[in-house]
Structure 1
């Protein structure tokens, strides 16, 4: 499969930043933050960080926040957002491939990855890298579209929840991309993570089952 190119996303910075601030995705980010527990004095990495909106939710707690994104323009957007919120001193953002993270082993306590795994040509490579950079006992939280995610179901969800305008457009765009890439059942995610030496795997359905937050703990080396 072809390797992903960061330039594909450079022109979408405004779209993704606005999408991260929608009521539906911001609420999912809040749930991810909740499910990973306290970030107090923790080193946290977001793989495929976009413009850094998820990391900002724990900026007052964490010891250090690191974002990696394939797009140089997304990284610039994240740096700008953290500067605007006066949190630059505890953050760093790097251009990098999720399948070849520019970090040493065992650097982080929490690793996040939202709306990324399903885009990767080889998702297992990305999860392997997350495992590598986590400390033993470290936690990962991933957000992925479920098999139920498609245009029709996304539109019905939006109708039930009075989601309109850009919020609807961005949700339908995610649904459209999902159907052309990867959608994972909870069983598939459990099998993948178990094979890569994660344990205590659990799943939280969000968006009425259109997507899944998966939380797991690193227990050993691969």
Structure 2
């Protein structure tokens, strides 16, 4: 398993602790989960449970899953519009929005009105956000020491973390070498600024090719 696949599996596992609302079809005594949360199922009273519990019950036809508010088509459409209208920031979706949407669409599409529309909107949001990440990464250079990633999701972070870190390391090393070489070039009457531009262009190209390979 690749590092990216392992990281994606970790993100999917962590998303299982997200609370969702279910309408149970069976009655149980109070159940204390390992996380310390106590759950009691009483039809047809809606109750919040971790996503992994909802998935367990749904696969056994023991509950209905209520659509999270942020996953409603109108709200997804608003999030998509916000993403497109604001190229410099990301909308405030849940940290595990990709994994949650994928899980719910896989196990509970019969409970989700307009499931196909939801699937398409989530995919569109992912595409817009991926493009914004790639555009932002084009602006990385050897002087970059801090990158703000507010509202970037877990899966998106996993997709860029290793690549961006390695690219920054290469940029800083190459820029240092370029400055050293530039001093020699300047003494000889050469053009040091062109060397720095070439270094940045080369590293940016490598970074974007690596990102595209992870799609």
Shorter-chain TM band: under 0.3
Normalized per residue, which structure has more helix? 2
TM-score by length of 1: 0.26
TM-score by length of 2: 0.27
Q: For the pair shown, which has the larger CA radius of gyration, 1 or 2?
A: 2
